[in-house]
Chain A
Amino acid sequence: MIAQRASRFLASGLNRMVLAYGVALLLAFVAIGGLSLLAYDHLVDRDVRRTVRAEHEDLREIHRDGGLAALSRAIDARVDEDTRREAVYLLADARGRVLAGHLADLPPGATRARGWIRFAWNADGDEAVAYVERLADGAVLLTGHTTGEQQRVRELLLPLALSIFLLLAALTLLLGWLLRRSLAHNLQATLDTVDRFAAGRLDERIPVGPGDDPLQRLARTLDRMLDRIRDLVGGIQASTDHIAHDLRTPLTRLKTRLELARRRIDDDGATAAATSALDEAIEEIDQSIATFNSLLRLARIEATDDRDDPPVALDAIVRDAVEMWQPMAEARGGSLVATVAPARVAGDPDLLFQLLSNLFDNAVKYSPAGSAIDVDLRSQGDEVRLTIRDRGPGIPAEDRERVFDRLVRLERHRGSPGSGLGLSVVRAIAARHRAQVRLDDAAPGLRVDVRFPRAAAADPLADNMEEG
């Protein structure tokens, strides 16, 4: 669960960036803190040793001038004077008997001729640094200093450093969160605008501020791109209208000529062969006109926006479509089996009916005789889900994207009637309603899933009345 959330958190580039920034900041703090502590230790240690050496030389001179007894007295005096209890002195005779100083016994390592030693000083964990020397008469002189002060400073600094570290970590998190929020806030407006544009509102533009930061530059560039897309779409729309007029008029004339000829034949009396040839020609032309109309309709659906779409009861439309296609399925020995729950989507009823009609047409066309087609409509969370499942041959995985392209018909269906535009129209209508179409293997058969964003019921009372 936590690992899952963490990996989701890390999946965002922004989160990773903020996290890396924070970690770098904390590492820098730790490095600076550690180095300072080391340098401090080193300096204090050097200072202590200098003082200790000076003191030691002092005592050696007393020994040289006055012998062991004078040294012993001097040490006793210094022990009394040392009110801060930081100095360490010890004098032992050649046989190791302690003559004066702080210690009851010689610390380990104190027997060597001369040199620095370090040993535990008290139960608080304090240590002592000392210089030992075996004097000319065999006596051992130890002059030192406890590290208690250093220890105190460290004990004070560590919690302080830790608090600053934690504070810094908290600050980093807060800054990261603020950065994320401000970025998300700035980008949200852009994302919303592009979303609305993609849904067909070609006049939407991203608000651009006066600055010259990358975000404003991005907004300006995107706006230029949106302008260009709008111009292109406008061009397509205008040229489709012209194509519609320029090409359909000659088609109309052709059809008119054929119908005139057909009527003349009826009047004059002619062979059945001639009549049926003309009928077939008229049917062919009707078919071309139908394909042509579908292409035009497709272009129009893709170019229109959904600005004014009110919520409609998709369940009622599905029921009407099922009713319309049921006789078609029954004529082939099959049936549509519908499970329809109330569901509202924002949309255009005619287009939604067209979408259903195209899907049912396909399902009926490719179902084996006598098989059922399942139709299921339900609301799930934020979406409305339409599922249509047939028992036909399905569509191979590698073709499932291609079948949505214009005029694409799979090789094995070439012989059957249809324009190859049915699924293109389905996809265009779905896109217009911000819905997603998915094709899956239902083993056997094809399952089509269309997921619409669910529309809020405008009036819960009205909804209840519909269901009642």
Chain B
Amino acid sequence: MRILLVEDDALIASFVEKGLRESGHVVDRVGDGVEGLHRAQTEHYDALVLDRMLPGLDGLALLRRLREGGDATPALVLSSLGDVEHRVEGLREGADDYLAKPFSFVELLARLEGLQRRARPGAPGPATVLEVADLRMDLLKRTVHRAGQAVDLQPREFRLLEYLMRNAERVVSRTMLLEAVWDYHFDPQTNVIDVHVSRLRQKIDRGHAQPLLHTVRGAGYLLGSRA
């Protein structure tokens, strides 16, 4: 996808740019808000990555101007101000997602891909069955089978697995899981998510030669058949 990156911190910008290129995306990078707005208005992008505090025009003001002009390009706002109220403010101004600095690149990538999927028109309606390798989830009957064997899951485990399956083969961060599976925005401080994931892993991977639920060091989790 074609991404516009508006970030004034050269080190972070080059790090993100390099990472996105390596992941097969096309990146345009600018360092101030006015230039960013001009680019976003005159060219077509699949996604925008905006820093909140920018010289010239701040990220949220840029986004507001863009949205007022009817531009609906998915936008992810980066900010050092990571608190709930800033996040809420950002989402209200038209951001599709909000990521607090410092972030890890994999999380940024995962969120961008998530945005892309949500924004893509003509995507098939909500699936009733999700499949990853020999793992199969029926959303109507609320059942899960691994290699034909029923797996008994608690409601929360079901939601956790559903989210992981919808994002199969992609890294999902702990924060993303928290936001998607639990209805509270809070800071768990400890590895409480890890315990839930390892329980789920016990239920779906135990007794099977190929593990599906992987831990990605320093980033989060990945559900998929990759080794």
Q: Which residues of A contact B (CB under 8 A)?
A: 241, 244-245, 248-249, 251-253, 255-257, 259-260, 262, 279, 282-283, 285, 289-290, 293-294, 296-297, 300, 304, 317, 320, 323-325, 327-328, 331, 349-351, 353-354, 357-358, 361, 365, 417-419, 422
A417-B190, A419-B189 known; A259 vs B105 contact (CB < 8 Å): yes
List residues of B whose CB falls within 8 A of some A CB.
Answer: 9, 11-12, 15, 18, 53, 80-85, 100-105, 156, 182-190, 192, 195-196, 199, 217-218
The answer to whether B101 touches A248, judged by C-beta atoms less than 8 angstroms apart, is: yes
Distance (Å) between the CB of B174 and the closest chain A CB?
11
**A244-B189 Cα distance, complex, nearest whole Å:** 19
User: Do A354 and B187 touch (CB < 8 A)?
Assistant: yes
Main secondary structure of the interface of A (DSSP, over half): helix
Partner of A324, one of B53, B101, B105, B192: B192
Partner of A256, one of B15, B83, B84: B15
Interface of B is mostly: loop
Most buried by B among A256, A328, A358: A256
Q: A249-B9, A324-B182 are in contact. Are A357 and B81 (CB under 8 A)?
A: no
Nearest chain A CB to B69 CB, angstrom units: 28
A361: which B residues are within 8 A, CB to CB? Answer: 188-190, 192
Question: B190 to A293, Cβ gap below 8 A?
Answer: no
Cα distance, A282 to B186, chains bound together (Å): 22
Is B156's CB under 8 angstroms from A279's CB? no
- B9: which of A253, A262, A289 is its contact (CB, 8 Å)? A253
CB distance from B138 to the nearest CB of A (A): 23
Contact A300 B189 (CB under 8 A): no
Q: Is the CB of A294 within 8 A of B11?
A: no
Contact (A290, B189) CB under 8 Å given A245-B80, A296-B83: yes
Would you call B83 and A297 a contact (CB within 8 A)?
Answer: yes
Known: A241-B81, A324-B192, A328-B192. A297 touches B101 (CB 8 A): no
Evaluate whether A354 and B102 lie within 8 angstroms (CB atoms) in the complex, with A245-B53, A253-B9 already known: no
Nearest Cβ distance between residue B173 and chain A, in whole angstroms? 12
Inter-chain contacts of B101 with A (CB < 8 A): 248-249, 252
- Known contacts: A253-B11, A320-B182. The answer to whether A328 contacts B195 by CB under 8 A is yes
Question: Which listed residue (B53, B187, B217) contacts A297, Cβ 8 A?
Answer: B187
